[in-house]
Structure 1
């Protein structure tokens, strides 16, 4: 009678997966995430007209304010641009709708070697990643009209704003996704802490460069020249960063309490070794 190979037999004596097994796991998770995104993109394709109408609303609002003073709309320069734009928007919708699936796949690949208790906590944080990502996307969606309005205010009097359709939509979609991924910062920091890669003390010592990197990231990702938009993106990221540091300290202390006494080696003996 043939026996199905168990997961434990596939691991080496130390219980770790080989490089080939990691690559196979990565391939499988990418296929699952990609299949889910494609399934969500089908819905984006079906409801494309309603979605594109919402994405073009900032331009329509500016056009309504100007009246006859200037034309504001999008323009497709090539015959294939409308088709390519519909595919792009559909995939964008797929990424948003299936965020629970691909976020869980990313999390499962980052922290595979946790204990049962840590895995239960990890699932909670994986579930927390979904509302954080969606909250970031929603915050960006709310700010897009202001960003578009500020940028179009630089148009000289009497000039028209005929935006290239693909470029405009890429700008809006990247803006929304940038906010969504920015709000995932604490989730990945906690994941690295649970995996034993990033201790809480290291995170706290690096708070100054971390805050600086956050503000630089916010300045690069916000297309408007005003500081208000940059601060709106940066401040939640700073708060989430320090929140993740606090959680990392909690997990580090819990890990130290559960550590066996024989692993506590005095400093003088450790230096002698």
Structure 2
């Protein structure tokens, strides 16, 4: 079977256009390097799980992830030997192996994010204009920063949330968390907070696209804050008041930031329209023609006509001699 020829990168058009098969080849190449980066980050996270470098102040990944649980007072959890009485209780032989793999995958995705984000950006960039690329870079950077900020906030409030959740037992019992339940709760909280912090960025993106106005967002502030409180109550596992309050307050602050950014963008857009003389036009009204119309009855001179030569005569076609053909 003859393979479909592919053009080299230097032979492709300047505008980045490619055929369907070239797009598929490019997607395969980008996915390969993204998966390779994720694999390398996962291996590094798997090794880091039990390795610490005290000279550099680097704790092991296990110590970092278990720290919120260790911050819970000893009266609310089972005190075991080693590590000052702070350990998880495994109930199956594969509990810690599964937890280590999950933690390595999570850390690998974070560590390798520059690699797979670069591959994603390299695949999408040829389809964007220069102005769209500028906005896309800004939104990708802001989205990554907001996700990490949300995950960091979740990490610091998980300890307080566990204090509330584990204190409900009182003197009736002691909590002994298994690795599966604890790390599932931890990873879910990190992802929920990180994704929730993307909601205000989505509103700003809609404003930049012309779908939402800053004034509309400001007028809907009360309903939006109520919706964020409901969202925090629904998505937070355990529904403890500390974690829900932290998420709702953070989202309310970010929503106000989105409102101010959107209003500032609208004012800047209005100033550009005023400078161009199109501020009074509605969204469905056409802008005026840049050419000044002439007086009524005025016509521009059109070049003189030139005669068109008549078509050449068609010579008559004589009918064939049927009698001669028959003979």
TM-score w.r.t. length of structure 1: 0.72
- Name the structure 2 match of 1:40: 41
- Asked if structure 2 preserves the Cα contact closer than 8 Å seen for 1:73 and 1:161, the reply is no
How much does 1:202 deviate? 5.0
How much does 1:180 deviate? 1.9
- Asked if structure 2 preserves the Cα contact closer than 8 Å seen for 1:75 and 1:163, the reply is yes
Q: Which moved more, 1:130-139 or 1:202-211?
A: 202-211
Distance in 2 (alpha carbons) for counterparts of 1:58 and 1:122? 36
Specify which structure has the bigger relative contact order, considering alpha-carbon pairs within 8 angstroms and separated by 6 or more residues: 1
Trace 1:148-163 onto structure 2 (pairs within 5 A).
148-157=162-171, 159-163=173-177
- Name the structure 1 match of 2:63: 53
Cα shift readout 1:65-102 (whole Å, capped 9, x = no counterpart): 46988997533333333222111011111233344556
User: 2:149 aligned with 1:135, yes or no?
Assistant: yes
TM-score w.r.t. length of structure 2: 0.62
Distance in 2 (alpha carbons) for counterparts of 1:251 and 1:112? 27
How much does 1:39 deviate? 3.0
Give the gaps of 5 or more residues in structure 2: 1-6, 51-59, 287-327
Cα shift readout 1:24-58 (whole Å, capped 9, x = no counterpart): 98877766655444332222111112212232234
- Greater C-alpha radius of gyration: 2
How much does 1:22 deviate? 9.3
Aligned residues: 263
How much does 1:5 deviate? 3.9
User: 2:103 aligned with 1:89, yes or no?
Assistant: yes
Q: Which moved more, 1:190-199 or 1:39-48?
A: 190-199
User: 2:246 aligned with 1:236, yes or no?
Assistant: no
User: 2:125 aligned with 1:124, yes or no?
Assistant: no
Distance in 2 (alpha carbons) for counterparts of 1:255 and 1:38? 45
Give the gaps of 5 or more residues in structure 1: 12-16
Task: Identify the structure with the greater helix proportion.
Answer: 1
Indicate the RMSD between aligned Cα atoms, in angstroms. Answer: 4.3
Cα shift readout 1:112-162 (whole Å, capped 9, x = no counterpart): 876534533442343233332222211111111111111111125252322
